[in-house]
Amino acid sequence: MKLFKNVRNGFIEMVFGPRWTYIATVRTFLQNFLSITLADNKWADVISMAASELLENAVKYASEEGTKISVEHSKDEAKLYLNVENFATPENSKVLAGEIEKISTGDPQEVYLQKMQEAALRTDGGSQLGLARIRYESNAAINMVVEGDLIRVTVIFDLK
């Protein structure tokens, strides 16, 4: 993790092993951090929920130890960037890219409802609801970058 100078935006970065039990702690910490950083507590709740969903995916599907989460609040743009990075197999990266593409096209509510109907029929223990839920509850943009076996999912919340 790099330490840098001249930080203009509210910023936090955490690295932890992909252990399910840490997720609630990170969620609670972020909720508290964002309550201070943002004027609106509702955004703190929504963003910490989104972080929790992304971290659950990271822990479930990571191929190696290590998960990084960072949050940057750009006051000038009135945007908040939530990034989660983890290692993944090429197969899981491809599945995730397909999911992001699917949920990013179409009306967030309709996409979420469709994913809920699909979830009712799933028997594999997964829900595949997290990303659609994030988009529906926040109207945020979700994108993903792959660098080798490292993937970074970014959720961009428009706080205006």
Partner 1 sequence: MNKFGLSSVITEKATVELLDIPQGVKVTFSGDIDVQNPEPIFVPFFEQIHSNVIANGVKYVELDFSKLTFLNSSGIKTLIKWITKVTPLPADQKYNFKIIANSQITWQETSLKMLSMLAPGLIEIQIQ
Q: How far apart are CA 29 and CA 111, in angstroms?
A: 30
- Please state the separation of Cα 37 from the chain's center in Å: 18
Query: Residue 44 CB, nearest distance to partner 1 (Å)?
Result: 8
Contacts of 72 (CB under 8 A, 6+ apart): 9, 10, 11, 80, 81, 83
Q: How far apart are CA 142 and CA 82, in angstroms?
A: 10
Query: Residue 4 CB, nearest distance to partner 1 (Å)?
Result: 32
Residues that bind partner 1 (CB under 8 A): 20, 23-24, 27, 41-42, 45-46, 49, 52-53, 56, 59-60, 109, 112-113, 116-117, 119-120, 122, 125-127, 129-130, 133, 136-137
Query: Residue 87 CB, nearest distance to partner 1 (Å)?
Result: 19
3-state class of 134 per DSSP? helix
The single-letter DSSP state of residue 88 is: -
Q: How far apart are CA 158 and CA 160, in angstroms?
A: 6
Name which of 21 and 105 has its Cβ closer to partner 1. Answer: 21
Name which of 24 and 145 has its Cβ closer to partner 1. Answer: 24
Distances (CA, A) of 107 to 7, 102, 133: 36, 11, 12
